[in-house]
Amino acid sequence: MSLPPGWLPAQRNEGWTYRDRIGVAAAGQTLSAFYAGRYRHSDRQEWQRRLAIGEIEHNGKPLRADASLAVGDRLVWHRPPWPEAAVPACWTVVFDDGDLHVIDKPSGLPVLPAGGFLEHTLLRLLERRHGDDPVGVPRPVHRLGRFTSGLLVCARRSTTRAWLSAQLRERTGALSVAALPDGEGANPCQHEARVCGCRKIYRARLAPGRLALAVGESLRITSPIGRQLHPLLGQIWCASDDGLPSLSLLTLLERGSGGDLVEVEITTGRPHQIRIHCAAVGAPLLGDPLYLQGGGARDDVIPGKGGYRLHAHRLIITGAGGERLVWEAPLPHCLR
């Protein structure tokens, strides 16, 4: 099947080298047990097979059989080339002043190498396109999920990335959910924005008819988010009573048989926060294969699987000189 214009076709990369150093917690384990725990895509038998064919070095020498590990041991896994899926490789530049570089990331493009992607990532594409720029390569300051579209902020200078990171990361030190105003018309995300000068606004489609809200009405979601056990990944982020404090403000914009359109403004930036918070109040993102009503996760799916509709629509931050910067990415067809 032919790909849409601007897509990178599926192809094999050139492999990668993974380096690990053994700490106290891993001492005494066998090499295969250590790797099976650290890289959970393969079980112990598969790691023993990789040992036998010479993919792994132990303290600078090839190791062909399983062995017990000691503190300070150095491991190197020479992973052979593997196929990477096709991804969209074109986008719109929303803003570029020679340092700040804001793009409208397409759904389906990973931001950083992970989850089986190495070359087919936004970071690698930026490095290829801007490698000869005299001012340097714009590098992502934050992440969006592979299938989340919309505003992604990059910067060329390390000092700019530092203050941007401070603007964009969660402000849990300033956030006290219990202390935020609860009166009529109070917007806790705007309250927090006054503290940190940053507002992050998303649009999403939810499974229809699950929200007990009138159009235009808002719901404040404060479900903590923490790690839970997961058979495929070891741990996964979910709604959790003993998790990290988290805050989202969800507003119902319209109802429809094809899903309810909502706006979600987030103060904290927990992993998969919007997906988890919407599921926690009984209205998972339309097409989300992972998160269940209540905010738990399926044990046979990983976060990188797509199908949901989520878009980073608007971002307001305070610039390095105190100016107010406002960016907006047009809504994709599925959210119009």
More confident residue, 62 or 197: 62
Tens of pLDDT along 186-197? 554 454 444 456
For the chain, the average pLDDT equals: 90
Residue 53: pLDDT band with limits 50, 70, 90: very high
Residue labelled with tokens 């479900």 = 223
Residue spans of alpha helices (H) in the chain: 31-38, 44-52, 122-130, 158-168, 188-196, 273-280
Q: Is the pLDDT of residue 198 over 90?
A: no
Asked if 154 contacts 141 with a C-beta cutoff of 8 angstroms, the reply is: yes
Q: What is the dihedral of CA 166, 172, 177, 179, to 10 degrees?
A: -90
Query: What pLDDT score does 33 carry?
Result: 97
Minimal CA–CA distance to 272: which of 146, 173, 188?
A: 146
Query: What pLDDT score does 27 carry?
Result: 96
Rounded Cα–Cα distance for residues 181 and 188 (Å):
7
Q: What is the dihedral of CA 25, 30, 35, 36, to 10 degrees?
A: -100
For 85-146, give the DSSP string.
--EE---EEEEESSSEEEEEEPTT--SSSBTTBSSSSHHHHHHHHHTT-TT---EESS---T
* CATH (one of 3.10.290.10, 1.10.10.10, 3.40.470.10, 3.40.190.10) for 11-84: 3.10.290.10
Strand 310-318 relative to strand 149-155, pairing: parallel
More confident residue, 323 or 139: 139
- Residue 274, SS3 per DSSP: helix
Tens of pLDDT along 83-101? 999 999 999 999 999 999 9
Q: What is the dihedral of CA 149, 150, 156, 161, to 10 degrees?
A: -100
Residue 163: pLDDT band with limits 50, 70, 90: confident
Q: Please name the helix (run of DSSP H) or strand (run of DSSP E) that holds residue 171, with its range, or none.
A: none
Read off the pLDDT of each residue in 165-183 and give the average, rounded to a whole number. 53
Sequence ranges of the chain with CATH classification 3.10.290.10? 11-84
Minimal CA–CA distance to 301: which of 281, 279, 268, 283?
A: 279
For 224-243, give the DSSP string.
-EEEEEETTTEEEEEE-TTS
Read off the pLDDT of each residue in 157-163 and give the average, rounded to a whole number. 91
Residue 173: pLDDT band with limits 50, 70, 90: very low
Q: What is the dihedral of CA 299, 304, 305, 308, to 10 degrees?
A: 110
Residue labelled with tokens 């190791």 = 63
Minimal CA–CA distance to 267: which of 170, 141, 143, 160?
A: 170
Residue labelled with tokens 């960016």 = 327
The dihedral region occupied by 112, where left means phi > 0, alpha psi between -120 and 50, and beta the remainder, is beta
Token pair belonging to 227: 């790690």
Asked if 66 contacts 31 with a C-beta cutoff of 8 angstroms, the reply is: yes
Asked if 203 contacts 261 with a C-beta cutoff of 8 angstroms, the reply is: yes
- Residue 276, SS3 per DSSP: helix
Rounded Cα–Cα distance for residues 135 and 294 (Å):
47
Residue labelled with tokens 């003993």 = 242
The pTM assigned to this predicted structure is 0.86
Q: Is the pLDDT of residue 203 over 80?
A: yes
